[in-house]
Structure 1
Amino acid sequence: MLSSLGFLEAIFWSVLQPHVFLLGAVTFLFFAAFFRRRSQKNYPPGPPGQPIFGNFFHLDFKQSHLAIQQFVEKYGNIMQLEFGSLTSVLVTGLPLIKEVLMYKDKNFLGRPVTPLREHGFKTNGLIMSTGQIWKEQRRFTLTTLRNFGLGKKSLEERIQEEAQHLVQAIMEENGQPFDPHFKINNAVSNIICSVTFGERFEYQDDKFQKLLWLLDEVTYLEASVTCQLFNIFPRVMNFLPGPHKKLFKYWEELKLFVAQVVEKHKSDWIPAETRDFIDAYLIEIEKHKSDTSSSFNEENLICSTLDLFFAGTETTSTTLRWGLLYMALNPEVQEKVQAEIDRVIGQSPPNMAVRESMPYTNAVIHEVQRMGNILPLNVPRAVVSDTTLAGYDLRKGTVILTNLTALHRDPAEWTTPNSFNPEHFLENGQFKKRESFLPFSIGKRVCLGEQLARTELFIFFTVFLQNFTFRPPDNEKLTEKFRMGLTISPVKYHIRAIPRA
């Protein structure tokens, strides 16, 4: 009898325990979140979150940067959001953004290392590294990029040459509708590839086209719902299939490509003849090989090179795709740009020296950046030590998001904030800088490729309109619909490029 009771008891507990465990875990997480909220007595206000998930379900992941604005109206220019155990603070308005990125920047220089990023990059590279690693990598990269032509005539000439390759590729479409996505990606990527890898890639190179496709996929996947759930439940999501597994696979393929290029460089490396960024980095590794605290190692070489490849391709090429779209949607603006090009440079190759003589073209490019809004909440920062902002206490590790969407669409700053209007950047016919225009961010962590990107945008865009008139296809309506990813890009579209006489 007793043995039977023991058997039944064992069955009972085998059925009950998983449920009890699950209920206990949920209860624990609920109270942990509750008491964490209660303990933050002087934290910014924000919408109340759900147990475990926080404000995760408050966001529309197809347009999260727009969905979040309704909460800004309710809770103000400094607002708290929680995603699982991750606390974020959204900062809105130029005075507060400048305080975070410039005046108090030493407290906000970190980058949040989410489980997603930790899985792929740890704390390596240029974009998401923090502290001494970031300082060493950034200082070295800026010096090396300058050595290889950043800000010099030689790099301008390289961009001019690539622009002509792209013109020829577009000419081959014979005025018929085509998708400009990967042609533009290839051309822009070739500039940073010539600096990092020491070579450019043909537009018909299947291997490189696959690489550009992988880059586009990771840009899209990393912002997906499933990948963001990985940041909340990394251990659980590790056992589940989904887009996050694709993301990890694609990042590894991209890293493998860079690793293979590095190995090729090592096989024919002559230290006295530095050909590109990878060669320069290999020299730096040799210099620091006896220093165990140095961040110069092969893993950081791969991650930093991949960061350059990503940043040097994605942001500029996406902006240019927005540019072609806005020209086709605003033919009267396109005509004015072409009239200025014809008057100032004719058929001569554009260069940065003539930009001041082309205020309307320059204003149009800036308006493309404002309306395209490709980094709507900027690259996130992290609080590096307990600090205060606008009278609120912020703990170390808090993620800081700067609301560039609100800044670039502020009706107090822009006459027609939601309409494409180059006059925003013109005053009495001359180009006008705007303090509330921060597509490259500001402060010590300002985009290190800003000068390169500005040069590429001006030369490529001017060459486009110098050689073509862009129109919608006869049977396709172009729209300003966007695709949400790490950047905001136009949805896939086709366009006609009519050669100009």
Structure 2
Amino acid sequence: MEGLTLLFFWVALPGFLFSAVRRLISRRTKPKGRFPGPRLFPLVGRVHDVPRFSLWLKFKEWADQYGPIYYLRIADQRFIIVTDQQIADELLNKRGNIYSGRPQIRSLINHKQGPAYSALMDRHDIWRTQRKWAHSAMVEAYRHHFYGHVEMEMKRYLGLLLLDPARFYDYTREYCGRVMSRLAWDDATQGRLNGESADQTLHCMSVSGPITNTMTPLWHLPSFINPWYNFEIKREREQRAWWLNNYRLAKQRMLRGELPSDTWAYRYFEQLRRETGSDSLDQPEEKEVFASCMIGFLNLVGVVTISGPLKFFLMAMALHPEWQKKAQEEIDRVCGDRMPTMQDFADLPTVRACLKETVRWRSGVPLGVPHQAERDDEYRGVHIRKGTIILALEWGLNRIPSNYPDGDNFRPERWLEPGWPTYQEPLTRYPNFREGMAMHTFGWGRRTCLGQNIVDDETFVFGAATLWAFNLAQKTCPLTGQPVPIDTQATNSHVILEPLPYQIDIKIRSEERGKQVLEMYNEVRSKLKV
């Protein structure tokens, strides 16, 4: 072990020395102005006390000490941390032509070049083509409220929850994976694999994942002693092969006239036919890989962005029975003995407020998604060098006292009652995840997430239908009779979070409601290939 540590040191040392020399040279040309921030030590900056897990809490602690914009260096990487909405808007929206790059994630191979992960690419032709196509595909699907697949999969989810409520954690991610896989390829059976692939990808791109994401020189060790590089080679190869296989299976179905027109694969093949004037759908393998990655990533990202918030919602309802009861009373008044659908959206503001507050209270992206300066800039008299990472810290933005009073606590009334800064009318429209207050959750400027619409539909149907069918509560310890505690900040610490597994008590609200859930489950079994 001592020899391996020494090897790591000698591999890392040249990079640190080069970084130190470069910083000494750059000081001669840097303006005197600088942002405040924690003391930085030679070579390492603050790498020694930056946690790999729950990093946002440390960044928020420094924001409380140094103000709404501060400077940080971790080894040779420069950061500007922002916890003020106006500053974030000025940099990431109004100057989006400068701050729309993506930083290199060491443990993801060639992600900035593409074509695998459009949200992580630099702004180039591959990114522009994929983003334009994905935007059009998502808008068209939303126009039809995702063709009813959200409600169909929800009936399956409720049935599984009734039969085996202890597995709610796994079923929730699978529900998200099935909706996306149905929209992408017409194969919801791949929902579980989709969720697992998404989780593994997030691990590899997170600070809490491979140590090479923070100790980047280790990435350059020879492959025969580099487990991180070898793992990533295998993971990416298997993921791309899976996406390409799905593409080719869908292509064969399209040629046989069996692929449903409400899939993104069908949309792509129809476009290909128009552009080539040929029904063969033949393309060079390079273009097939491009298309399979474009659809595959759209499929994957819809899992990771929604699964976490839904798990936090179930947690919030179990911990706040008073709000669960208010939402259920509203659902019963509006829906009676039928499962809620998107048609009930306008009439269930309390449900929407609980969902909106869940995402504010326990954000799925508490660090925010990093933007990188694509060229030098100056802001408030301070020189910002090309390559600097700008983090609009979502955990901090969601706790600005003037916008979110009592920000550490779960308060859905902030979206429902006049007098709160976040209140908007009419309640038939607000709150939602498409527009209005607190939309910074979905990012900024040219890198804003394209998935607001599916988040809005999927979370609403999930929240309303689950509360229509079940009562959620904390588990009771059989020995003490006390509620089993839930750590609401225990997460996987990925770039996009899920809470760590927790236990809650899930019971059907009535015998009659249980019969309805089973009838709905049997109704969709054959259609969904359960």
TM range (shorter): 0.7 to 0.9
**Match for residue 163 of structure 1 among 133, 154, 157:** 154
Name the structure 1 match of 2:4. Answer: none
In the aligned structure 2, how far is the partner of 1:122 from the partner of 1:183? 34
Aligned letter for 1:163? M
Given that 1:179 and 1:494 are in contact with CA atoms closer than 8 Å, whether structure 2 keeps it comes out as no
Name the structure 1 match of 2:294. Answer: 304
Name the structure 2 match of 1:479. Answer: 487
Task: Give the Å deviation of 1:210.
Answer: 4.4
- Aligned pairs for 1:92-111 (under 5 A) are 92-111=83-102
Distance 1:481 1:52, change over 3 A: same
- State the secondary structure of the residue aligned to 1:88: strand
| Matching of residue 195 in structure 1 with residue 183 in structure 2 | yes
Aligned letter for 2:509? R
Q: Percent identity?
A: 21
In the aligned structure 2, how far is the partner of 1:46 from the partner of 1:357? 47
- Aligned pairs for 1:49-448 (under 5 A) are 49-119=40-110, 122-124=113-115, 125-129=117-121, 130-147=123-140, 149-153=141-145, 155=146, 157-173=148-164, 178-201=166-189, 209-223=192-206, 224=208, 226-229=211-214, 231-236=216-221, 240-242=225-227, 245-270=230-255, 275=261, 276-282=263-269, 287=275, 297-428=287-418, 431=427, 435-448=437-450
1:144-182 alpha-carbon deviations (Å, 9 max, x no partner): 2334x22324x2521111100100011102xx6x14222
Aligned letter for 1:160? E
Given that 1:120 and 1:248 are in contact with CA atoms closer than 8 Å, whether structure 2 keeps it comes out as no
Name the structure 2 match of 1:47. Answer: 38
Given that 1:352 and 1:458 are in contact with CA atoms closer than 8 Å, whether structure 2 keeps it comes out as yes
Name the structure 1 match of 2:522. Answer: none
Aligned letter for 1:96? I
Given that 1:222 and 1:247 are in contact with CA atoms closer than 8 Å, whether structure 2 keeps it comes out as no
Aligned letter for 1:264? L
1:448-495 alpha-carbon deviations (Å, 9 max, x no partner): 111111110001110000000012223343221322112222111122
Aligned letter for 1:479? D
Distance 1:300 1:398, change over 3 A: farther
In the aligned structure 1, how far is the partner of 2:12 from the partner of 2:391? 33
Superposition CA RMSD, Å? 3.2
Name the structure 2 match of 1:13. Answer: none
- State the secondary structure of the residue aligned to 1:374: coil
Distance 1:226 1:244, change over 3 A: farther
In the aligned structure 1, how far is the partner of 2:241 from the partner of 2:365? 27
- State the secondary structure of the residue aligned to 1:497: strand
Task: Give the Å deviation of 1:214.
Answer: 3.6
- Aligned pairs for 1:8-47 (under 5 A) are 27-37=17-27, 39-41=29-31, 42-47=33-38
In the aligned structure 2, how far is the partner of 1:20 from the partner of 1:375? 35
In the aligned structure 2, how far is the partner of 1:409 from the partner of 1:144? 34
Distance 1:285 1:337, change over 3 A: same
Task: Give the Å deviation of 1:260.
Answer: 1.3
In the aligned structure 1, how far is the partner of 2:298 from the partner of 2:254? 21
Aligned letter for 1:463? A
In the aligned structure 1, how far is the partner of 2:10 from the partner of 2:345? 69
Given that 1:365 and 1:458 are in contact with CA atoms closer than 8 Å, whether structure 2 keeps it comes out as yes
1:270-300 alpha-carbon deviations (Å, 9 max, x no partner): 39877432344356567489xxxx9982333
In the aligned structure 2, how far is the partner of 1:24 from the partner of 1:438? 39
Given that 1:372 and 1:488 are in contact with CA atoms closer than 8 Å, whether structure 2 keeps it comes out as no
Aligned letter for 2:234? K
Task: Give the Å deviation of 1:211.
Answer: 4.5
Task: Give the Å deviation of 1:375.
Answer: 0.5
TM-score (ref. length: structure 1): 0.84
Task: Give the Å deviation of 1:418.
Answer: 0.6
In the aligned structure 2, how far is the partner of 1:30 from the partner of 1:91? 25
Name the structure 2 match of 1:498. Answer: 507
Distance 1:109 1:222, change over 3 A: closer
1:92-128 alpha-carbon deviations (Å, 9 max, x no partner): 2010111123222222222223333344563323211
Aligned letter for 2:60? Q
Distance 1:477 1:138, change over 3 A: same
1:416-465 alpha-carbon deviations (Å, 9 max, x no partner): 11111111212249746563452222433221111111110001110000
1:38-80 alpha-carbon deviations (Å, 9 max, x no partner): 5433553433434444333331111101111232233332222
Given that 1:226 and 1:244 are in contact with CA atoms closer than 8 Å, whether structure 2 keeps it comes out as no
TM-score (ref. length: structure 2): 0.79
- State the secondary structure of the residue aligned to 1:498: strand
| Matching of residue 458 in structure 1 with residue 460 in structure 2 | yes
Unpaired runs of 5+ in structure 1? 1-18, 202-206
Given that 1:384 and 1:397 are in contact with CA atoms closer than 8 Å, whether structure 2 keeps it comes out as yes
Given that 1:288 and 1:296 are in contact with CA atoms closer than 8 Å, whether structure 2 keeps it comes out as no
Distance 1:34 1:152, change over 3 A: same
Unpaired runs of 5+ in structure 2? 1-8, 278-283, 478-483, 511-530
Distance 1:21 1:490, change over 3 A: closer
In the aligned structure 2, how far is the partner of 1:401 from the partner of 1:110? 12
- State the secondary structure of the residue aligned to 2:503: coil
In the aligned structure 1, how far is the partner of 2:371 from the partner of 2:118? 13
Residues matched between the structures, number: 470
Task: Give the Å deviation of 1:229.
Answer: 2.8
- State the secondary structure of the residue aligned to 1:360: helix
Aligned letter for 2:155? Q
Distance 1:208 1:415, change over 3 A: closer
Task: Give the Å deviation of 1:413.
Answer: 1.9
Given that 2:88 and 2:392 are in contact with CA atoms closer than 8 Å, whether structure 1 keeps it comes out as yes
Aligned letter for 1:140? W
In the aligned structure 2, how far is the partner of 1:112 from the partner of 1:295? 29
Distance 1:451 1:22, change over 3 A: closer
In the aligned structure 1, how far is the partner of 2:53 from the partner of 2:16? 28
Aligned letter for 1:494? Q
Name the structure 2 match of 1:16. Answer: none
Distance 1:248 1:453, change over 3 A: farther
After alignment, is 179-188 or 368-377 more displaced? 179-188
In the aligned structure 2, how far is the partner of 1:391 from the partner of 1:271? 63
